[in-house]
Amino acid sequence: MPAPRSMAALTGIAVLAIALTACQDQASGQIVVRNGARVVETLSNPSVDGCHRFPEGVTNVENYTQSNLQMYPTPDCTGPSIYVDIQTSNEVVRANGLWRSFSFAPE
């Protein structure tokens, strides 16, 4: 009866894979940030928890993740924020200053 054991093993693996995906604490994809034309940082599969600080102020963000972002002009994700949708990009308005941090928007 090897067939039933194989089917049980495959079913168990599938259930485990689904459970692990549901508990994922990373955003799938990349975020590319620039200051002018220069790339400042590229983040791959970043954690969805907490505030993420940039090494320097940025003027443009490209969100290639499956999660929405909130961009902040402060290094601690406080103050007014700009919302950046999934699979879009946004450029800072000069009057607002540079972006210094981001967090993932609640879903």
Q: What is the pLDDT of residues 21-38, one digit of tens each?
A: 444 688 899 999 999 999
Structure tokens at 72: 């902040």
Amino acid, res. 90 = N
Domain ranges for the chain: 26-104
Instruction: Tell me which residue of 79, 17, 28, 11 sits closest to 51, measured CA to CA.
Output: 79
Task: Give tens-digit pLDDT for 72-90.
Answer: 999 999 999 999 999 998 8
Residue 29, CA distances (Å) to 1, 2, 10 in order:
43, 40, 28
Tell me, what's the pLDDT at 78? 96
Which pLDDT value is given to residue 94?
A: 65
> Domain 26-104 belongs to what topology?
Gamma-B Crystallin; domain 1 (2.60.20)
Model confidence at 19: pLDDT above 80: no
pLDDT of residue 4: 62
Question: What is the reported pTM?
Answer: 0.73
